[in-house]
Structure 1
């Protein structure tokens, strides 16, 4: 018996060490806020999905929002499409696990009938995703409310710039009335700026309904603006983060850097570093 205790002590030490290492890995500034920082794969749309995953890892991120139509790559034929067979889904999930990146969201995507919407939710569930981002026809809202509750998956209504249907948060709020709490907003702060709106005021209007964000910082307040490193543009990134902290937001930030398409990893890296330093200093 006397030999068992040292072995137990060693096992306990090893367990504690591993747990501490895991905690250290997860203890990013955003994780302590219960925020997740990932990338919308559209940032790397000049590349295959799995090339995008490698770039996301280079940016010290571990979450991806996949988008429909991107070539899969990695030896897997076809494109990221929610109609794909189960075998292909399993291949993608295996490769994601090997790379240490989780597919947490999918979009911007839509469907034209109940059967396709259900297939989309089946796909998201099979992939272990939490969110679907969409700009659905409002006639489908009651159906989507039902599917969100049935599948325990969120649907986040995304805003493209004016004159798209959901460009103004008032339209989004109206669509959410009386629906499942799992239907909310995918707040694209850059597109609000392109539409001449104040992103902080838009977030205030949507308080309690924000599921995730598409984060951008833009060069100027106009439709011709392009992405710049976060903190260097006009999207009020610091104030946006402060407002989300005030609201008690818990969820996903998708980096969506739509500029310097062929070599934007350094741009995303700089934006991620700025985000994390800013989050550290939030009051």
Structure 2
């Protein structure tokens, strides 16, 4: 009888342990799945994906925000056609409320072209009233010392945008660097990787070379490394986007990566959405 009782107790103990394993296994599986999901989320958040406002030049703010919501993109560089330079405090507050309701943050203003120091004063005043600490601008070279002075006075950063071979002042990142390297550290660049490539430069090498002064990024691809190259979806051009994204991670880039999509500008959603998906896929894969 003792042997039978002992065998029965052993059987019940083993059954209990087996049942416990069955109960806890899904929990372990869920924890593993959650960890993997969290890792993917962390990767996606490691670089801030945004939209350069110029991509929406043919759309009002409401339509633009609706497109951003569909793509789940949450950072916007503000253009004056959405928020005019002479906007009142009430208009600016209403603008920010619309952005907040769409879960979007306006992180900078521009690009803003300036010809005089008075224009620069207006740009800095505009940024201050809008409540951002970054201006994307295209100043005259003669006014760069004044830009540097304004950056010191206001602690607002100023990012000069390069526009490729057609731009006789700032065609590429190296030209910008040579003009700003001795200026206040808050004078930097909005690095347009596509226009840089169109000017025969290497976007990845320039990203690594000028990393300390790159405050903003216009994320795009182009069809060729020539003046004739056109903006295209991220995965369809000549720039190696996975290598570039690895470069961003290597330098621990903390600014926004704002898609500027100049193809099909009257119907940009499909191209923007494809680029968003490609960028997020690259982030997940590397």
User: Paired residue for 2:152, among 129, 149, 153?
Assistant: 149
Q: Could you say what secondary structure the match of 1:96 adopts?
A: helix
Q: For residues 101-146 of structure 1, give each alpha carbon's deviation from its aligned partner in whole angstroms, at most 9, with x where no partner exists.
A: 1111111103333343233222212222232111211222222222
Are the aligned partners of 2:172 and 2:195 in contact in 1 as well (CA < 8 Å)?
A: no
Are the aligned partners of 1:83 and 1:119 in contact in 2 as well (CA < 8 Å)?
A: no
- Relative to structure 1, the CA distance from residue 232 to residue 202 in structure 2 (aligned partners, 3 Å threshold; closer, same or farther) is same
Q: Equivalences for 1:130-169 in 2 at 5 Å?
A: 130-164=133-167, 165-169=169-173
User: Paired residue for 2:89, among 86, 91, 102?
Assistant: 86
Counterpart Cα distance in 2 of 1:112 and 1:261: 27
Query: 1:57 and 2:69 equivalent?
Result: yes
Are the aligned partners of 2:163 and 2:172 in contact in 1 as well (CA < 8 Å)?
A: no
Counterpart Cα distance in 2 of 1:43 and 1:163: 19
In structure 2, runs of 5+ residues without a counterpart are: 1-37
Counterpart Cα distance in 1 of 2:67 and 2:279: 18
Q: Could you say what secondary structure the match of 1:155 adopts?
A: strand
Structure showing greater Rg: 2
Match of 2:53 in 1: 41
Query: 1:202 and 2:206 equivalent?
Result: yes
Query: Aligned pair count?
Result: 247
Counterpart Cα distance in 2 of 1:118 and 1:131: 14
Give the root-mean-square deviation of aligned CA atoms. Answer: 2.1
Q: Equivalences for 1:89-238 in 2 at 5 Å?
A: 89-164=92-167, 165-238=169-242
Deviation at 1:28, TM superposition (A): 5.2
TM-score between both structures, scaled by the size of structure 1:
0.80
User: Paired residue for 1:29, among 29, 43, 55?
Assistant: 43
In structure 1, runs of 5+ residues without a counterpart are: 1-23, 73-79
Q: Could you say what secondary structure the match of 1:235 adopts?
A: coil
Counterpart Cα distance in 2 of 1:110 and 1:85: 21
Higher helix residue share: 2
Counterpart Cα distance in 2 of 1:280 and 1:27: 9
Segment of structure 1 superposing worse, 186-195 or 107-116: 107-116
Match of 1:15 in 2: none
The list of structure 1 runs, each at least 4 consecutive aligned residues, that deviate by more than 6 angstroms after superposition, is none
- Relative to structure 1, the CA distance from residue 140 to residue 103 in structure 2 (aligned partners, 3 Å threshold; closer, same or farther) is same
Query: 1:276 and 2:280 equivalent?
Result: yes
Match of 1:241 in 2: 245
Counterpart Cα distance in 2 of 1:171 and 1:232: 27
Match of 1:254 in 2: 258
Q: For residues 183-236 of structure 1, give each alpha carbon's deviation from its aligned partner in whole angstroms, at most 9, with x where no partner exists.
A: 111110111122122211222331211111101112223333333321221122
Counterpart Cα distance in 2 of 1:223 and 1:121: 32
